[in-house]
Amino acid sequence: MVKLMKRGDTYKAEKLKGSIVAAGASCDVADKIVSSVKTRESMSTLELRRQVSDLLKNSDPKAAKGYDTYRYR
């Protein structure tokens, strides 16, 4: 399990996929992004979000904009 730095959360692919879909991407695009993300121990959530945003900009620019403004609850 990869621990993220900001909250000590454990990285969960299904949680990341949910946030990408909530931003407006299709499930297929979200699956592709989640499988492309490279995580490491003590990675910051900001670094993870930037990586996802960059990948989304190439796959679905509209969803990337939504993801950039999406707030976790």
pLDDT tens, position by position, 2-28: 666 556 578 899 999 999 999 999 999
In a domain, 2, yes or no: no
In a domain, 5, yes or no: no
Over residues 30-45, the pLDDT tens digits come to 999 999 999 988 888 8
Band the pLDDT of 51: cuts 50, 70, 90: very high
In a domain, 3, yes or no: no
Q: How many domains does the chain have?
A: 1
| Residue 52: per-residue pLDDT | 96
Q: Considering only CA atoms, which of 54, 33, 47 is closest in space to residue 2? A: 47
In a domain, 35, yes or no: yes
What does DSSP assign to residue 9?
P
CA 69 → CA 2, 3, 37, 40, 49, distances in Å?
A: 25, 24, 19, 24, 11
Q: Domain span at residue 22?
A: 13-69
In a domain, 6, yes or no: no
Does residue 48 contact residue 37 with C-beta atoms inside 8 Å? yes
Task: Give me 43's structure tokens.
Answer: 């990675």
Instruction: Say how far apart CA 48 and CA 5 lie, in whole Å.
Output: 10
In a domain, 31, yes or no: yes
